[in-house]
Structure 1
Amino acid sequence: MRPIYLPGSLRIGGGALDHLPKALAQAGLHAPFIVTDRFMAQSGVLERVLHLLEADGMAPRVFDGTVPDPTVAAVQAGLKKLKAGAADCVIGLGGGSPIDTAKMIAVLARHDTSPAALKFPHVQDAPGLPIVAVPTTAGTGSEATRFTIITDEATDEKMLCAGLAYLPKIAIVDYELTLTKPWRLSADTGIDALTHAIEAYVSKQANPFSDSLALSAMKLIWPNVATVCHEPANRAAREAMMLGALQAGMAFSNSSVALVHGMSRPIGAHFHVAHGLSNAMLLPAITAFSIDGNEARYADCARAMGIAEATHSDSDAARALIDALRARNAELEVPTPQSYGIDAQRWSTLLPTMARQALASGSPANNPRLAEANEIETLYRKVFDGAI
C-alpha cells in the first residue's frame, strides 16, 4: 500500500482565479498573506488578486520580494513581513519561485527552525500555515507537490525540502494567466513539466497512480509545448499545457524525480540558470544515459508522446525518444551551458562539488540507472558543449 498525496482542493480552468475568495472562505481562511514577485506586481495580476480579495471583505498583505531560485534571504525577508501582522494562510502567486518561497514561509511561520535544518533527508509533515498556490506558468507543478527548493546563498546549494507541510491546501489553476508568457519562459517551464512527467514514470518510486498521471501529462505537453511558443495566444494549447503541468506535478509528488533534477539543481545554484532551462539542457543526455536502466519504460514514454508507434520495439522507441528530445531542444533554442555563457574553467572546477550535491539531494537514487559521482561528472562535461 502506498499513500497518495494531493492538494486539499483544486479549481481548474479559464477564469478559475475569480473563485479564489470563495475557495478561501470554504476553507475558513480570511487573512491571506500574498507572496509574489515584482513582475506580478507590475503586470497587473497582483492588482487583480487584491481587488478580488478586498471586494470580498479581506485585507490581504503582500510580500513581493521573491527572487528566481528562491533564497534563504528572500524567505527570511518574507517571514519578517508576515510576522508583522495577522495571517491565517500564505498565497504563492506566480511561477515556481514565489510558490516555493511561500511554502517555506508558511512552514517557518509555525516552526522555529531554518531551511537548512529542513532539507532532505528531513521530512516535514507537521503543518505550517495553510498554503494556497496560484501558478502563472505551466511548468513547475509546485501547486500540487509536497516539495519546495530553497537556495542557501552561503554554500550555493539548492536544498530540496520535502513533506506534507509543503502540500498546498488550495490550488487555483487558471491557464488564462499564462497567455502572455514569452517564448523563453514558455519553453523552459514546458520542458520542466515534461521532465517531471518522464522522471515520475521511469522513477524507481513509480506506481500505478503516478503512472496514469505521468502518461496523461506527456500526451498533453509534448504536442503543445512548441505550439505555445510559436502561438502564445493559442488558448487550447495553453490550457493543455497548464493541465499537463498540473498532472506532472501530481505524478512526481507521488513518485519522485530522478537524475535530471538531481543534476539540474547545482547548475541553478552555482550559475543562476533558471530551473526549467537547466532541466532542458540536461534532459536529452541524461535520458540517453539512463535508458538501459529501464528501456521499456522509456519506450512507453515515446509511445505516449506520439514519437513511436505501438508496433515499434522498445529499443527503437526508446532511441526515437532521445532523437526527439534533441530535436525539440533545437527547435526551442535551448542553449548548452557553454553557449549560455557559463565559464568553462569554473564549470570544470565545480564538477566534483556539483556531483556531490546532486547525489546528496536524493533524486539520483530513484533513477533507472544509478550514476556514481565520476559518471555524473562525465555527464556534466558532455552536456557543457553538447557533445553527446
Structure 2
Amino acid sequence: MSNFIFETTPRVICADGESERLGDLVREFGISRPLLVTDRGIVDTGLLEPILASFRAAGLEVTVFADVLADPPTSCVEAAVALAVASRADGVIGFGGGSSLDVAKLVALLSRSGASLDAVYGVGLAVGPRWPLIQVPTTAGTGSEVTPIAIVTTPSGEKQGVVSRLLYPDVAVLDATLTVGLLPRVTAMTGIDAMVHAIEAYTSRHRKNVVSDTLAMRALRLLSDNIGTVIENGADLTARRAMLQGSMLAGMAFANAPVGAVHALAYPLGGQFHVPHGLSNALMLLPVLEFNLTEADALYRELSDAVRAGERTWHRTASGRAFVDAMATIVGELGLERTLGELGVIEADLPGLAIDAMKGQRLLVNNCRDVNYDQALALYREAL
C-alpha cells in the first residue's frame, strides 16, 4: 500500500442551489452549444426548468437529449452521440442518475474523437480528445461524477465497461436540493449502491491505498449515519447533502481501488432480469460479505467502526462478524426485496447467472477471495 497513484475529478462544487447557476459555470469552460444528457423522468419532475433557464440567461444554445434509459443500451449512447454531432455541441452536461452521467461521459468522448463505442470497451483503450464535461448527479449512489467508468448494456444483454482517465469529468456539481424529491425506494437502492462501493473499495485486492481507504471509511460513515433519515424524511436537506457527499467519496475510493464480487454478481441480474443496479447490489451484498469473511475479517473489523457496529466495544475487540451483522440490519431496514425469488428468479436461472458472472473477471480479480463458477452459483443460491 506504500506506493500508489490516485486520480479523481479535478474540481468539485458542493452547494445547495448551485445547479441553478449552471449556465455561468458552462460559460467558464468556453462552451457555447452544450448538450445536456438526461432522462424522461427528470424532465417530468420539472428539475430541468431552472437549469435551462440559467442556460438561456447565459446566452447558451442548449440541446437536450432526454432519452437515457436505465442500464443504457448501446443504441442509447449512439443516438446521443449522433445528436451531439448534429447539434455541433462543444460541451456536455450529464444531469441525472448514474445512467445519464455514464452516457454523458461517452458522448463527450465519442462525439469529438470520432471513435466507435465498440473500440473503447475495456480498460485504457479510449483515446482523446473529448469535449468539456460537467456532471450533476440527482441521486446519491453511483458516484459516477468522480469516476472514469461508464457501463453500457450490449444487444446481448451483457454489461460492458469503458474505463479511461479521459472519462473523468472536468467538474462535478453536488446540489442536495436536486435529491429532495427522490422516492424512498430509489433513495434506498442508490444509497446501498454507494455503501457497496465504499466496502468493496476498502477490501479491494488491487490498488487499495491510504487515500482510497480514508475516503471509503468516511463515505461509509456518512452513508450509514444518514440513509435511514433520508428514507424516512426525504426533505431533510442536511441528510441529503451527507448522502451526496458520501456517494461522491465512495466513488473516488472505488475509482482507484476497484470493486469486486458484489458488483460482478450484480451485473448479470441487471442484464438478464433488468433488476435495478442498487437493488441487485443489495441482494448480493450479504452473501458475498459472508463468503469473504474468512479473508476480510481484519478489514471488516476496521469497517465496523464506520457503521457503529463497535460503538459499545473497544475498537480492537470489534469483530468482522459485527460488521456483517450491522450491514444485515441496515439492508433489512431499507424496505427492499430480500431475495431473488421475489423478483421472479428461479433455481433454473442460476447457472446462467453464474456463467455471466464469471465473465466479469475485470471485477472478480479485485475481490479479496477468489470466486469460481461453483462458488458464484452457491452465492446466487444463497440469495434466492
Tell me the distance in 2 between the aligned counterparts of 1:8 and 1:322: 34
Q: Which piece of structure 1 moves more, 53-62 or 23-32?
A: 23-32
Tell me the distance in 1 between the aligned counterparts of 2:204 and 2:28: 36
The one of 310, 314, 339 aligned to 1:311: 314
Tell me the distance in 1 between the aligned counterparts of 2:345 and 2:287: 20
Tell me the distance in 2 between the aligned counterparts of 1:261 and 1:325: 16
**Contact persistence 1:267–1:354 (CA under 8 A):** no
Segments of 5+ residues of structure 1 without an aligned counterpart are none
Aligned-partner residue type, residue 171 of structure 2: I
Aligned position for 2:375:
375
Aligned position for 1:279:
281
**Contact persistence 1:120–1:160 (CA under 8 A):** yes
Aligned position for 2:176:
175
Aligned position for 2:349:
347
Aligned residues: 380
Tell me the distance in 2 between the aligned counterparts of 1:233 and 1:4: 35
**Contact persistence 1:116–1:152 (CA under 8 A):** no
Where do residues 1-388 of structure 1 align in structure 2 (5 Å cutoff)?
1-124=3-126, 126-153=128-155, 155-204=156-205, 205-309=207-311, 311-313=314-316, 316-345=318-347, 347-359=349-361, 362-384=362-384
Partner SS for 1:303: coil
Aligned-partner residue type, residue 377 of structure 1: L
Aligned-partner residue type, residue 21 of structure 2: H
Structure 1 residues 217, 343: CA separation in 2 closer, same or farther (over 3 Å shift)? closer
TM-score under structure 1 length normalisation: 0.93
Q: Which piece of structure 1 moves more, 239-248 or 123-132?
A: 123-132
**Contact persistence 2:123–2:164 (CA under 8 A):** no
Tell me the distance in 1 between the aligned counterparts of 2:187 and 2:271: 21
Partner SS for 1:198: helix
Post-superposition CA distance 1:229-268 (Å, at most 9, x none): 0111111111110111111111111211111111111111
Tell me the distance in 1 between the aligned counterparts of 2:36 and 2:348: 38
Q: Which piece of structure 1 moves more, 41-50 or 347-356?
A: 347-356
Q: Taking every aligned residue pair, what percent have the same amino acid on both sides?
A: 34
**Contact persistence 1:127–1:164 (CA under 8 A):** no
**Contact persistence 1:23–1:170 (CA under 8 A):** no
What's the CA shift for 1:111?
Answer: 3.0
Post-superposition CA distance 1:114-155 (Å, at most 9, x none): 3333222444253422221110001100001011101102x2
Structure 1 residues 19, 3: CA separation in 2 closer, same or farther (over 3 Å shift)? farther
What's the CA shift for 1:110?
Answer: 2.3
Post-superposition CA distance 1:245-296 (Å, at most 9, x none): 1111111112111111111111111111111111111111111111222211
| Root mean square deviation, CA, Å | 1.7
**Contact persistence 2:110–2:116 (CA under 8 A):** yes
Tell me the distance in 2 between the aligned counterparts of 1:323 and 1:73: 42
**Contact persistence 1:95–1:137 (CA under 8 A):** yes
Partner SS for 1:161: strand
Query: Runs ≥4 in structure 1, deviation > 6 angstroms?
Result: none
**Contact persistence 2:202–2:216 (CA under 8 A):** yes
What's the CA shift for 1:334?
Answer: 2.3
**Contact persistence 2:29–2:132 (CA under 8 A):** no
Post-superposition CA distance 1:340-386 (Å, at most 9, x none): 32231552341343232233xx11111111111221121111112xx
Structure 1 residues 143, 342: CA separation in 2 closer, same or farther (over 3 Å shift)? same
Partner SS for 1:172: strand
Segments of 5+ residues of structure 2 without an aligned counterpart are none
What's the CA shift for 1:304?
Answer: 1.7
Aligned-partner residue type, residue 96 of structure 2: G
Partner SS for 2:102: helix
Tell me the distance in 1 between the aligned counterparts of 2:55 and 2:23: 6
Structure 1 residues 346, 23: CA separation in 2 closer, same or farther (over 3 Å shift)? farther
**Contact persistence 1:207–1:255 (CA under 8 A):** yes
Aligned-partner residue type, residue 364 of structure 1: L
Tell me the distance in 2 between the aligned counterparts of 1:49 and 1:337: 40
Aligned-partner residue type, residue 166 of structure 2: A
Tell me the distance in 2 between the aligned counterparts of 1:346 and 1:17: 47
What's the CA shift for 1:66?
Answer: 0.4
Q: Which piece of structure 1 moves more, 291-300 or 270-279?
A: 291-300
Partner SS for 1:69: coil
**Contact persistence 1:291–1:368 (CA under 8 A):** no
Tell me the distance in 1 between the aligned counterparts of 2:102 and 2:78: 13
Tell me the distance in 2 between the aligned counterparts of 1:123 and 1:288: 35
